[in-house]
Structure 1
Amino acid sequence: MSTLMSQCPTLAFNTTLFNNSEEIVSYLDVYIDRLHHEAEQLKQVNKDLADQCFSSGLLTYIPLGGGCQRHLLLLGGMGPMAGAYGMKSCLSFLEDEYSMTLFQACFVPKRDSDLDIVTSLYEALEHAIPQCPSHKSIDLIVLCNSAHPYMERVLKHFYQNSVHKDKTIRFHSFKESVEKRSSAFGKLKCIALQTNFAASMGIYGDTHPIYSMDKIPALSAYQKNLALAIEGVKRFDKHATLLNAIKVFQALKDYGAKRLLLGCTELPIIVDSLKKEAPHDIQEYLSGVTLFDPLILTLQEFTQART
């Protein structure tokens, strides 16, 4: 077992390679259920849940036809639910066009302005690259918006020091994809929902027509609730997630927000929960609002670039 993998406790992928899309989606559903079960066990021993409580693991999909000559590498695990949902989104969007690998790098520390995670992200990349098909170039997507500000330094370190530095890697930045596609947002403002760290770093909200929720006076007080809802997903606390998310989306509804950027990979999970369990007026609001997911915008970008 590698150093990276041995840093992390018990919930690793049992199966690493799939050729059938239905089977890998079913496996991801089982994995998500196992995450919930593991979280409940950890709660019973009074463990404070965080991404780092869960095991890292590798999962690869290679369609029977092999796909194209580019391989999609997803760095997830920040948190593990977002990684699993992110791979499901990629499988649905790309169908059998691409082979792909998900590396759940749960050992990456919490993204925080006081903590440099370049070394951990570099180690994740070092571990994941050899698991990808050797004859294919790599498209890299990091399934954590708050990790993206570090990636320029991570890749610089990779190309200077890695034994795999001759490998062709195309990094796809969520921020760049959002900015390229922002013309599709229309004239109305698009409100970016993001973590406290992402907001403080200005990942989204410094280019027209995108405005960070924490910078809008009528909504800034709800940034705290948004952070608690995101943490609720990470801590597998459904009550806290829904309680705080309902407050946020009620405020967005009252404000009249028509376009929302889901600037955290936990937010699609939150929105799915709200569509099923929120009060009727919130469900109705979500059915009429336009939601932009940076992951989907990024997938649109690189598939269009291919053609």
Structure 2
Amino acid sequence: MNAEMANYAPLSFNTTIFNNAKEIQSHVDTYIHGLHQEAEHLKQSKKELSDQSFKSGLLTYVPLGGKSDTHLLLLGGMGPLAGAHGMKECLSFLQDAYSVTLFQACFIPKRDSDHDVAWSLYEALHVAVQNCPKNKKIELIVVCNGAHHFIEDALKLFYQKSSHKNRDIRFHSLKASVEKKSRTFGRLKCIALQSNFAAQKGIYGNSQNIYSMDTIPPLSSYQKNLTLAIEGVKRFDKHTTLLNAIKVFHALMDYGAKRLLLGCAEIPIIIDSLKKEAPHDIQEYLSSVTLIDPLMLALQEMAEK
């Protein structure tokens, strides 16, 4: 790592490699449990929780006997639960087709901050690529919808400055995958559930029948509840998450929404909680609507190519 990057670099991070499918799944579950434990410890210490409260780390799975020359790199940590959830989705989807690395880059600033987010993403990409298998092509997915506002600049920095700029890397944009899928939506409106930052920057909405919730008059007042639910996941506050998510999904149900885009990496975690603990009418509603996960769209597109 060059001197220019030294002021931005994470001081240390753990690197773990697994070759057995059951062991990697078990490790991710243990890691998630550990995040919850660490969050409780931080709360007891009266410390405010954020993505940056947690350690960065690298987790790689290389299936024994795997012959593919392709490696999937997930850039996560924004927040850490979303990154771990994304890793579980990828492992389940790929079924040992590719090796996978998850880099939980928890040091990346909040996307709506005044910090240089693009530079931090570049730094994370540099470190992550450095730790990917040297003999494989890299398929890159960034597990944060809001980060897509900065990723083009981060990739430019990577190809200008990184000592790994000659690696064969193909970026799979969640935004581009959703826009491609939206061409098949027909006339049925799709409502994007996303953070305030993603909504303000137009990550999803108002194209090809995708509408951001904050632009729909009967639903716009519930954007604040959606934001609180997302922040509840990031702060490991289950009560706040469920309380606000139930309000949002009751509003969506009353509105008659039939197709929902999960436009924030915390939304699938919220959905899982609602399916287990929400009132029966919300659980029935969730079983009747189409839920579109950008990460799954990107994985499907990657598999097709």
Of the structure 1 ranges 65-74 and 276-285, higher mean CA displacement relative to structure 2 is found in 65-74
- Give 2:106's aligned amino acid: C
Q: CA deviation at 1:113?
A: 6.2
- 1:206 shift after superposition: 3.0
Q: Does the C-alpha gap of structure 1 residues 67 and 36 become closer, same or farther in structure 2, counting only changes over 3 Å?
A: farther
Match of 2:273 in 1: 273
Equivalent residues in 2 for 1:21-100 (5 A)? 21-100=21-100
Matched, 1:158 2:163: no
1:6 aligns with 2:11: yes
- Inter-partner Cα distance in structure 1 for 2:66 and 2:126: 24
Q: TM-score, normalised by structure 2?
A: 0.95
- Per-residue CA distance 1:245-278 (angstroms, 9 max, x = gap): 0000000000000000000000000000000000
Structure 1, residues 103-147: CA drift from partner, whole Å, max 9, x if none?
Answer: 000000001064430111011011111110101111110000000
Q: Secondary structure at the match of 1:4?
A: coil
Matched, 1:285 2:290: no
Structure 1 segments (4+ residues) deviating >4 Å: none
Query: 1:78–1:108: 8 Å Cα contact kept in structure 2?
Result: yes
Task: Give distance in 1, aligned partners of 2:104 and 2:186.
Answer: 35
Change (3 A) 1:106 1:113: closer
Q: CA separation in 2, counterparts of 1:56 and 1:184? A: 38
Q: Which amino acid aligns with 1:254?
A: D
- CA shift for structure 1 position 284: 0.4
Q: Which residue of 2 aligns with 1:16?
A: 16
Counterpart Cα distance in 2 of 1:22 and 1:185:
37
| Cα distance in 2 between the residues matched to 1:21 and 1:182 | 34
The AA in structure 1 aligned to 2:185 is F
Aligned to 1:75, the other structure's residue is in SS state strand
Q: Deviations over 1:269-298 (max 9, x none)?
A: 000000000000000000001000000000
User: Aligned partner of 1:6: which letter?
Assistant: L
Question: 1:67 touches 1:99 (CA, 8 Å); kept in 2?
Answer: no
- Counterpart in 2 of 1:199? 199
Secondary structure of the corresponding residue to residue 170 of structure 1: strand
In the other structure, the counterpart of 2:3 is none
TM-superposition CA deviations, 1:152-180 (whole Å, max 9, x none): 11111111111111111101111100011
Distance 1:187 1:22 in 2: 43
The equivalent of 1:231 in structure 2 is 231
Mapped contact 2:179–2:208 kept (Cα < 8 A): no
| Unaligned 5+ runs, structure 2 | 1-5
- Taking the aligned partners of 1:174 and 1:207, their CA distance within structure 2 comes to 15
Contact 1:5-1:57 at 8 Å conserved across structures: no
2:252 aligned partner: 252
- 2:174 counterpart residue number: 174
Give TM-score, length-normalised by structure 1: 0.95
Distance 2:223 2:116 in 1: 24
Are 1:192 and 1:262, in contact at CA under 8 Å, matched by a contact in 2?
Answer: yes
Tell me: CA distance 1:113–1:215, structure 2 relative to 1, closer, same or farther (3 Å). farther
Change (3 A) 1:67 1:287: farther
Contact kept in structure 1, 2:192 and 2:261, CA below 8 Å = yes
> How many Å separate the matches in 2 of 1:236 and 1:205?
28
Query: How far 1:302 moved relative to its partner?
Result: 1.1
Pair 22,50 (structure 1): closer, same or farther in 2 beyond 3 Å? same
Q: Which runs of 5+ in 1 are unaligned?
A: none
Q: Within the alignment, does 1:218 sit opposite 2:223 as a pair?
A: no
Distance 2:138 2:277 in 1: 39
Q: Deviations over 1:62-116 (max 9, x none)?
A: 0112241111000000000000000000000111101010000000000106443
